[in-house]
Amino acid sequence: MICGIDEAGRGCIAGSLFVCGVVLSQNIPLALKVQLKDSKSLSESKRNILASLIQQFSDFYLVKKTHQEIDDKGLSLCLKEALKEILQNLEASQYIFDGNCKFGVDLLQTLIKGDSKLSCISAASIVAKNAKDKEMRDLDTLYPQYGFKKNKGYGSKAHLKAIKDYGYCAIHRKSFKLKSLMQNSNETLFGYNI
């Protein structure tokens, strides 16, 4: 009984971070299990379908850390809190997090590129990415000028240009350093230190 854990939205400059733990059911259909891959290698429509099926054939726990929590506490502490919450809410013999950092969480193991090596981590990757994508599609209707439906909150060239043109919106992570927007690091952008 392995709990695979992965996140989506760590490197974003807007929106929330989602961290998911998944313990796959022993009766998961083989036809579904063979489709579980790193979420980045799947289309958004495929992730939508798989995320729903994964939830039917697993115990899963999804943690959302908002942009405000990330600004207030920092990304590392938010990840640590999310990982601890998953360990407290899912029962497994092993907990394996995609990557190489345990964020100081006991009982957690790490596996580099785990989302392409273990199906339970792939499943966690898909559920987390699906939640992040849905959030950004919803936010795109509130803030269409930033192109969230397309960039999903990541710092694409078009997204950075939109920030230059319109400033930050309410869901941008203002603690993140966006040096590409500044001539020198001592300046501020729209009242926020960059």
Give the residue numbers of the binding site for a divalent metal cation.
6-7, 98
Element (H, E) at 191: none
Question: How much of the chain is helix, strand and coil, in % rounded to 5?
Answer: 45, 20, 35
What stretches of 25-178 adopt beta strand conformation (E)?
A: 58-65, 94-98, 108-111
Q: Which two tokens stand for residue 89?
A: 């809410």
Dihedral-angle region of residue 8 (phi above 0 means left; psi in -120 to 50 means alpha; beta otherwise): beta
What is the sign, positive or negative, of the torsion defined by CA atoms of 94, 98, 100, 105? negative
Q: What amino acid occupies position 169? A: C
Annotated binding site: 6-7, 98
